[in-house]
Structure 1
């Protein structure tokens, strides 16, 4: 009983502390995007895997299994997600000013027109995988083993949303920023739901990748590359 309680406390501590540790990296310590990515991989993948080997929270193999039928359905949702975001941007661009996004990307993340094509593929294929493993695999699917379903749903979704505060704090107007934070909680809940149905974080990873491809497509437009 004591050992199980320690597992729960360490799990919660990591899910809260590691995103907090990333905040100063995103804001102050590492203006270069690639340095941030390295730190993120260490904090969100390396440490959880090392500690999972000790505490045995969850089977990594079980979270990497997906059937062909599930894969086909996920691919459709991924395509629908891409189209929805592109359509949403076209509706919102007449109401909100998105021009500051490229300025913030260049100043805080060293992302420019010169390296954006690499970023275009890196974020969906690698960065999305890191986040989905941490917030949904190590987060939600592992939390469910020790806590109530409802509590696991909302805690992982809220942590996921608040983590992005440090990243997007100066990108948008206060109103749009607030809407995005609330929207990210909704996205986190949806990702938890589809992962719960399949038992693998790869489900939300593919949808997340589709969303990132859509956002990066908008980035190409804002940079004047398309």
Structure 2
């Protein structure tokens, strides 16, 4: 248990430094994330972690996939609805400026970045937070502890990314949503011990956020 938590804590801390202080351009940041969220867990698992990392990507059943896509569609609509409700309080121009200055994300490259975030970045995060951390802890510690630690790490990881985007109230709401989302993702994976179901929902959530991005960059 200590090894999984320590490796996860160090990876999240290092990624937070990259996101919050170093701010490399998005391609470099993505390569660092692949190392910390994919290569490090694979190496850790090879030298003593309890989970079978290859099994995390085994195909989900048709029923489970249908439920995941249904839930994912609901999440998409909820996020878009929340955005529409809170849009008067969200500074899209400020977010757009922060993306350009911190990550080099502009209207010209946003579509490529959005596709990466929706499909690849979501898979990396599911592999790390749900596959390595949650399912690994679930085998060696209490269920509530596994749920809480993994969801908390998932929320904390996003602090460095979105901490400067919103007002304090909206930020707290976002962090609460991320924690609850982490719990839901864990629940989707607990039965089958893979990450496919949560990846589908996470992907749909990212697609919703990127839909807001399309509005922000005047594509819609």
Q: TM-score, normalised by structure 1?
A: 0.93
Superposition map of 1:39-54 within 5 A: 39-54=32-47
1:142 aligned residue: 136
Contact (CA 8 Å) 1:98, 1:172: kept in 2 or not?
no
Matched, 1:33 2:26: yes
Secondary structure of residue in 2 paired with 1:198: coil
> Residue 136 of structure 1: CA displacement?
0.5
Matched, 1:13 2:6: yes
> Residue 154 of structure 1: CA displacement?
0.4
2:101 aligned residue: 107
Secondary structure of residue in 2 paired with 1:55: coil
Moved over 6 A (4+): none
Superposition map of 1:26-175 within 5 A: 26-65=19-58, 66-175=60-169
1:218 aligned residue: 212
Contact (CA 8 Å) 2:56, 2:127: kept in 1 or not?
no
Q: Any stretches of 5+ residues in structure 1 without a counterpart?
A: 1-7
Among candidates 165, 176, 179, match of residue 182 of structure 1: 176
CA distance in 1, matches of 2:89, 2:22: 34
2:198 aligned residue: 204
- 1:95-146 Cα shifts (integer Å, max 9, x gaps): 4433311111111111100000101211011000000100000011111011
- 1:25-62 Cα shifts (integer Å, max 9, x gaps): 11222430111110000011001101211214211233
Secondary structure of residue in 2 paired with 1:191: helix
CA-based RMSD of the aligned residues comes to 1.3
Q: Any stretches of 5+ residues in structure 2 without a counterpart?
A: none
- Count of aligned pairs: 219
Contact (CA 8 Å) 1:100, 1:172: kept in 2 or not?
no
Q: TM-score, normalised by structure 2?
A: 0.95
> Residue 202 of structure 1: CA displacement?
1.4
Contact (CA 8 Å) 1:31, 1:107: kept in 2 or not?
no
CA distance in 2, matches of 1:53, 1:31: 30
